[in-house]
Structure 1
Amino acid sequence: MTEPLLIQFFKAAILVPITLLPILNPFGNAPVFARLSTGISRDAEKRLARQVTINCFFMLLGAMFIGSHVLAFFGISLPIVRVGGGILVIATGWRLLNDDSNSGDGDAIRAQVATRQVWSEDEFKVRSFYPISFPLTVGPGSIAASITLGANTPLRLPDVVISAGSAVLGVGLTTLVILLCYRYANGMVRMLGRLGTMVVLRLSAFILLCIGIEIFWHGVVDLLNESGLVS
């Protein structure tokens, strides 16, 4: 029996944050955000968190909506995207399960620490995107996963509306978590501590690993169907 459209909508929307949040890792990156925002006022810190959230929203949504079309332009099929994206998600989930440093996409810039000074307006705009939005929050892993999530292009109008709406809602929920984590980064660090952060990351990493396997398997099945080996 076909599921009601509303249930399909919310299931598709919830899949987005479940898949992306372990890769984005806003919980683990919150301490890095706190360090990178050192020297600015509390109001400026809130503004910075809000601007980073907006940047991440449009980057993730753009990857979901046009990422697969860009790949198609270069002749890369959607099943290959699913297989490659699934492998990447599996690898990311496995790495997070075995990573003692509690790091995500921001590993490459954790050594960059903001100096104790008040930022100018231009410096604020630059730092809100690099390195905080990219690659600390939205890095190569989360971009690839977003493309994989948006790889399916429905043909029927109701399915198109459900797909687009669920993508916007899912990315909105995802970036809302980013906003909350970064806006209250200092308090979160004190409340969770290292052990609490590790527990959250381990649980989400296991879910991510399972989702990666599912994405990979669907890609393999599609490739086998295309090759005529299975029907």
Structure 2
Amino acid sequence: MLILFFKAAILVPITMLPIINPFGNAPVFASLLGNVSRDVEKKLARQVALNCFFLLLGAMFIGSHVLMFFGISIPIVRISGGLLVAFTAWRLLNDNGQDAIRTQVATAPMEAWSDEEFKVRSFYPISFPLTVGPGAIAASITLGASTPARLLDQVISLGSAAVGAAMTAFVIWLCYNSANKMVKMLGRLGTMVMLRLSAFILLCIGVEIFWTGVVGLLVEAGVAIQ
């Protein structure tokens, strides 16, 4: 039972991290910060990781129930999420430095934010949709869609999901906490290459999520997939 618990816990970061891609997003995060103090950078990285932890947990625990209430199927979520991820990646690929996300964050100096404003701005747009976007939410809902019938199995499933989400958030914190160091190490050219490469990978992930949703709809419609 303990082995199954840790297998289920490890499944979450293995599934989520390639979609979230915190290493690839770290240069974007650093560019959003600008020239801020190290304390502000650490505080924001910690808050973003905490936001992402609760976003993933919420999607895994209640996401499927919300979809069921509105009559939305998982394939529809995948198609919608895949399109949005692909569109976001396309914008990043063609971004010339005037990205709307950067504008949202740069409207006021971070040192002047109140604690409440800090939490709000750390959530949008950095936590969502930059870090945990629609693709990650769709994947989280899929992971939490099959709830075991037995009470003990439910407790184990919820516990492993929480541990997996915590591990994912920890990796996000590690990458974002060292974002400026990473940018300095890569240099201007290396950062630009990393941004474009990350955007292309994100585009591929968006297309993959979209196609998985299309295949799911075709299967639900009874169409045989070769």
The interval holding the TM-score normalised by the smaller chain is 0.7 to 0.9
Aligned to 1:114: 109
**C-alpha contact (below 8 Å) 2:49/2:170 kept by paired residues:** yes
**C-alpha contact (below 8 Å) 1:90/1:209 kept by paired residues:** yes
Q: Using the alignment, how far apart are the partners of 1:108 and 1:20 within structure 2? A: 22
Asked if 1:154 is matched to 2:150, the reply is no
- CA root-mean-square deviation: 3.7
AA partner of residue 144 (structure 1): P
**C-alpha contact (below 8 Å) 2:55/2:132 kept by paired residues:** no
Q: Using the alignment, how far apart are the partners of 1:82 and 1:19 within structure 2? A: 13
Structure 2: runs of 5+ lacking an equivalent:
none
Deviation at 1:164, TM superposition (A): 6.8
Match of 1:180 among 174, 193, 206: 174
Structure 1: runs of 5+ lacking an equivalent:
none
**C-alpha contact (below 8 Å) 1:23/1:142 kept by paired residues:** no
Aligned to 1:98: 94
Match of 2:215 among 190, 213, 221: 221
CA deviation string 1:168-192 (max 9, x = no partner) = 42x4344334423443444344333
Q: Which deviates further from its counterpart, 68-77 or 107-116?
A: 107-116
Deviation at 1:161, TM superposition (A): 5.3
Q: Using the alignment, how far apart are the partners of 1:12 and 1:53 within structure 2? A: 15
Q: Using the alignment, how far apart are the partners of 2:130 and 2:190 within structure 1? A: 26
**C-alpha contact (below 8 Å) 1:90/1:213 kept by paired residues:** yes
The structure carrying a bigger helix percent of its residues is 2
Deviation at 1:100, TM superposition (A): 3.5
CA deviation string 1:159-218 (max 9, x = no partner) = 99579736742x434433442344344434433333222222233333322322222222
Aligned to 1:139: 129
What TM-score, normalized to structure 1?
0.72
AA partner of residue 198 (structure 2): S
Aligned to 1:209: 203
Aligned length: 217
Match of 1:129 among 119, 122, 125: 119
